[in-house]
């Protein structure tokens, strides 16, 4: 009897599922979001496709599909999704930012990427990801002062974000401002003591500072010797 009850319950649960033709865009979007969260980006992209078949002009779905493709390293395909969003809404700052990130971090087209970050910031001056992306792109081709300005803006927008402080520290270290870099990495670690990247960057900065101190000592000794 118990077995029969279990079977009936399972059949009842099965029967409430919609027929294949009745699945909605929201259903497929939910499946895609779940797969994305689990890191199954291929499955996520496939499910976003199914959602887009039912709702082809949904810019949230287009942007999310682009994110999934970018995580698979398919940056050109990701950019095609963001371009489709921008055909629908030219002022969508999220798509502009995501396109900039794909161009910068994916395709290493830093100059082109900064154009899209600037366009995103024209639409939304408080876009944290656009400030961060622009800063990282500028740093990648050596515009460190401008990069620092962008990353400082990012820390103002999200002062509790450890990654923002880590990114700022990376640029400061590259500029040779080791104490300020150390302060940034320490702030990142205060916010997240388990942040391994910031911990490694802090260690590298301490090594840099030690080497500079050793060099200063050697220089001082040489100067004294020749007096």
Please count the other Cβ atoms lying within 10 Å of the Cβ belonging to residue 118.
Answer: 13
Whether residue 75 lies inside any domain: the answer is no
> 147 vs 120, 150, 157, CA distance in Å?
16, 5, 16
Cα dist from 4 to 7, 12, 15, whole Å: 5, 12, 16
Q: Is residue 225 part of a domain?
A: no
Q: Is residue 21 part of a domain?
A: no
Q: What is the pLDDT along the chain (227 residues), one digit of tens a residue?
A: 443 333 333 333 333 334 455 699 999 999 999 999 999 999 999 999 999 999 999 999 999 999 999 999 999 999 999 999 999 999 999 999 999 999 999 999 999 999 999 999 999 999 999 999 999 999 999 999 999 999 999 999 999 999 999 999 999 999 999 999 999 999 999 999 999 999 999 999 999 999 877 665 443 443 333 33
Residues 131/134/139/143 CA torsion (nearest 10 deg): -100
Q: Residues near 153 by Cβ (< 8 Å), separated by ≥ 6?
A: 131
pTM of the predicted model as reported, rounded to 2 decimal places: 0.83
As for how many domains the chain has, the answer is 1
What are the DSSP E strand ranges found in the chain? none
Residue 199 lies in a domain: yes
- Domain extent, residue 193, equals 159-219
């Amino acid at each position: 009897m118990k077995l029969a009850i279990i079977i009936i319950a399972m059949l009842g649960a099965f029967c409430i599922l919609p027929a294949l033709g009745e699945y909605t865009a929201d259903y497929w979007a939910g499946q895609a979001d779940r797969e994305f969260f689990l890191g199954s980006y291929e499955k996520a992209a496939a499910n976003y496709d199914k959602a887009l078949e039912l709702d082809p002009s949904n810019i949230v779905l287009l942007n999310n599909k682009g994110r999934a493709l970018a995580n698979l390293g398919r940056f050109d395909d990701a950019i095609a999704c963001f371009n489709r969003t921008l055909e629908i809404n030219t002022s969508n700052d999220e798509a502009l930012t995501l396109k900039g990130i794909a161009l910068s971090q994916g395709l290493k087209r830093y100059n082109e990427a900064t154009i899209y970050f600037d366009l995103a910031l024209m639409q939304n001056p408080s876009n944290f990801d656009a400030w961060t992306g622009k800063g990282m792109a500028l740093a990648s081709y050596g515009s460190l002062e401008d990069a620092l300005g962008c990353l400082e803006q990012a820390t103002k927008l999200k002062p509790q974000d450890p990654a923002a402080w880590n990114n700022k520290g990376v640029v400061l270290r590259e500029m040779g401002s080791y104490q300020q870099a150390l302060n940034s990495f320490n702030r990142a670690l205060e916010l997240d003591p388990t942040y391994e990247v910031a911990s490694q960057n802090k260690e590298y900065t301490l090594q840099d500072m030690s080497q500079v101190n050793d060099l200063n000592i050697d220089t001082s000794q040489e100067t004294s010797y020749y007096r």
